[in-house]
Amino acid sequence: MMPFFPRDQFRLDEIQVIADGAPFSGTDQNARSPSLLKLPRPSHPITLGSMHPPAAGRKEREIMDFLHGRVFDPILQSPVASEKLKQGVRYTIMRMEQRDAEGMVQYYWSAIIGTERSIGFAALMRREGFGRFEEALEEFRVRFDNDFLRQP
């Protein structure tokens, strides 16, 4: 049998689980008891910057590590960032992790160009005083260019 983390090691208000096809928040008073959530102990310590799917390759990890350091982690680790902003960051991470390196770069540029959703999200990031994709643009363009994407 796999060992489990004691439930007091998690802040359930920051964990979202899909239960019966609908989001389940550990703080939802009408939901199942959070004590029923059993998460397997990972084989290595989890940090915000290492939450990549096991199948992610070197290029995908490098892109996500860059974005975690420059954009995502400062928000997720902030005690003053709104829950709406943190939820948006977690959604962005989830969407990016569904892509290969080329798709991640394309997603980044789409956010910079501005979709209806990304324009509002960037404004929220600015209002709350956090760095946005735009602030990381120059370094991202240099590091994750076509030569990078062509590498094995």
Q: Are residues 18 and 93 in the same domain?
A: no
User: If pLDDT is split at 50, 70 and 90, which confidence band does 116 have?
Assistant: confident
Q: Are residues 66 and 20 in the same domain?
A: no
Q: Where are the beta strands (DSSP E) in the chain?
A: 16-19, 22-25
Q: Are residues 91 and 30 in the same domain?
A: no
Q: Are residues 21 and 52 in the same domain?
A: no
For range 97-117, the mean pLDDT: 92
Output the furthest CA–CA distance in the chain (Å, rounded): 51
How far apart (Å, rounded) are the C-alpha atoms in residues 122 and 111?
Answer: 9
83 neighbors 140 (Cβ within 8 angstroms): no
- Assigned domain for 129 exists: yes
pLDDT of residue 8: 40
Q: Are residues 90 and 143 in the same domain?
A: yes
Q: Are residues 89 and 29 in the same domain?
A: no
pLDDT of residue 55: 55
- Assigned domain for 43 exists: no
76 neighbors 86 (Cβ within 8 angstroms): yes
15: containing domain: 7-36
- pLDDT, one tens digit per residue, over 58-102 is 999 999 999 999 999 999 999 999 999 999 999 999 999 999 999
Entry pTM: 0.63
pLDDT over threshold 50, residue 45:
no
3-state secondary structure of 50: helix
- Assigned domain for 41 exists: no
φ, ψ (nearest 5 deg) of residue 18:
-90, 120
Total of domains in the chain: 2
pLDDT of residue 114: 86
pLDDT mean across residues, the chain: 76
φ, ψ (nearest 5 deg) of residue 17:
-120, 140
- Assigned domain for 2 exists: no
Comparing CA positions, the residue from 68, 26, 24 lying closest to residue 47 is 68
- Assigned domain for 70 exists: yes
Neighbours of 111 (CB within 10 A): 21
Q: Are residues 14 and 58 in the same domain?
A: no
pLDDT of residue 146: 95
Our separate counts of H helices and E strands in the chain read 7, 2
Instruction: Look up residue 61 and give its amino acid.
Output: R
Q: Are residues 59 and 22 in the same domain?
A: no
pLDDT of residue 115: 84
Structure tokens at 74: 């400062």
